[in-house]
Structure 1
Amino acid sequence: MLRPNMFYGELKDSYLFYNIAQKTKKYLEENEGTHLYRMGIGDVSLPLCDAVIKALHEAAEDQADKSKFNGYMPECGAPFLRNAIAEHYRARGVQLADDEVFVSSGASDELGDILDLFDRENSSLIIEPAYPAYVDANIMGGRKIVHLPSGRENGFLPLPDDSTKADLIYICSPNNPTGAVFSKEQLKAWVDFANRNGSVILFDAAYEAFIEDEDLPRSIFEIDGARTCAIEICSLSKTAGFTGTRLGYTVIPHDLERLCMNFNRMWVRNRTTKTNGVSYIIQKGGSAVFTPEGQKQIRENIAVYKNNAKVLMKALDKLGIWYTGGKNAPYIWMECPDKMGSWDFFDLLLHKAQIVGTPGEGFGKCGEGYFRFSTFGSPEDTEEAAARLLKLLG
């Protein structure tokens, strides 16, 4: 008799952002024509930069020219894009070989797919509050999850100790949802722990481009010892506005091995079996991100989102509300006022100020009492939302 994957039955009934969508839908049905100030989901609001658009158009024209036409692309990524990404790392002092870079359809896809490399018996440590997909992907795979809580007392940046036991370790820095960023010393503690215990760190670097403090690491591979214990997964979604275009990359060093199995070679085998690669047009667009012109233009877009963060932080400072994130990340993680529950605060903002954010409880139990704002909205909406926060909570 066919058996479905029974682990799906252990998933929560509904997804965090589905719940938010249902609440906002109901509100709009009852308040037709109302404008909502959406600072919940982390989707970008600015279009792709000119350098990317130009490259996409040129690539589309190539597909109409027999001499330039491209069919299936190399499953692990086009050489021109793998080289561009590796050069980007090398310019920042991180030495990578081109074939240690794998092009993907986005970090979210890769964070789930990468689990193919590890036995189901491996346990996964997830620092909470956490991006919900980390938990759900491991539940679907039938893995034991070790929940490591964090809080205001450690800046939502916990470190391992002798009681910590896990085979896979999820680290997101800058963090989603808290916006907290691990220092080099803190990441070194995790790298040393992983190497001592034979663990592998899955380092989610989707928001690295938002780091402005030069002493904070943007890649796990800036840390000595990481090549023997880490995989880095990155995305162009927030870096360059590719949320609707879908492109990312994964770095797996040749040095990463366990039980005589080489994870770089394993991933080559996985990709050549399970994918037909990312489209030529999208990869050409992605390669433009790593040109001098592309880097300048995406920095201009990121500056808009970072200014949104400053507007929100200024309002929270005036209100005397504790928060983290914002400066080096596109998320602000605030403590709910008056010890309110995070869903209660969501309802208050929606009904009294028409602001949509994300309740911290949706990111794990220790997110209760906190709330996440995304800074990816328009400057106009962000200014108005900040004014409404001051009026409502002042």
Structure 2
Amino acid sequence: MKGKRILLGVTGSISAYKSALLIRLLVKAGAEVQVVMTESAKEFITPLTLATLSKRPALSTFVSDQNGSWNNHVDLGLWADVLVIAPASAHTLARCAHGLCDDLLSAVYLSAKCPVFFAPAMDLDMYRHPTTVENLQRLESFGNHIIHAEHGELASGLVGEGRLAEPETIVQTLYRHFAFRPALAGKPVLITAGPTQEPIDPVRYISNHSTGKMGYAIAQAFARAGADVTLVSGPTALPLPDPFVRRVNVRSASEMYEATAAAFPSAAVTILNAAVADYTPAHPADRKIKKQEATFALELTKTTDIAATLGLQKRTDQLMMGFALETNDELANALKKLRAKNLDWIVLNSLRDSGAGFGHDTNKITVIDKDEQTHEFALKSKDDVAEDLLDLVEAELNKQPAG
């Protein structure tokens, strides 16, 4: 989203107040926002509010009231990377659908060469009316995108479809638009993330310091690129990384194996980022263990090696990426994993690298591919690391024969 130029059309709807939050989210994401308002939109939110948030004058007329300068609708249409009309009233939908051009916003729409998104907002009977339905279909037939209204309580007091999609939803839609990669479109991608917890008794467990941040960043990147993402997640406090991610919550290593093995056969790409316990208590107690003896011995048994097991099942049309967090002999240990587990890539983290590993918002990785070529990356945010991994996978997918 950084540096993207977004024209935001605001029309006469009670939902216009949400445009302020939408602008705030877009600017925070690094986008440049230029507001174009209809005259009726000013009845619901002031141009000053939108201008302050966007850091640009909110335009509504062909000629500026302040200095008489010309607000060129053609230049505006050419400037934008995307035009978003949110909220889009029934009146504006009808004008755009039928090419009426009697104000600045409709002129900008007709001039725009960029993708256009309409986010309708109105009362439920207006939204369901055959005229509105036909106008939305007509706009979509022109190649425009519709961010459909949501179900909920409306300004009229009725409950139903018609309320403007939440600003966060609109922003996510734009993220996916800009991040879309044809090679990933519809590809089933399986990702594991987070720690596992191995029960000692009903109160205690064995675990590790994984927060899930890296795996969740990867899931978000692939979902925004257009992949069909299944995220098998150990316990973490992180929210769903993207509304289009299917999350399967697990706790123990055995649960993670079962969920991953079930999804693996249909996955085109599998990324095993979770920090899975290597050992689990052999005999978990069914009651809380009381503190009595001075020493306490715990018998552990090996868990299923998920990467090795899936590596034996991997087909030639499947890609698999594993992770190795090492504290010593990093490259040697990573290469050993790459070969033994039939991986296409191994992503190496070293706990000796400052800012890398568990808990950080940054990471520093070295990726070794199946040809044992090494790709080194600088320390960067985990979101940016996820994009680097996405680049590697996309390049490999592009080598595969079509179909």
TM more than 0.5: no
Quickly name the TM-score band, shorter chain normalised.
Answer: under 0.3
For the pair shown, the structure with the greater C-alpha radius of gyration is 2
Superposition TM-score, scaled by structure 2 size: 0.24
Between Structure 1 and Structure 2, the one with more helix by share is 1
- More relative contact order in 1 or in 2 (CA 8 Å, sep 6+)? 1
Superposition TM-score, scaled by structure 1 size: 0.24
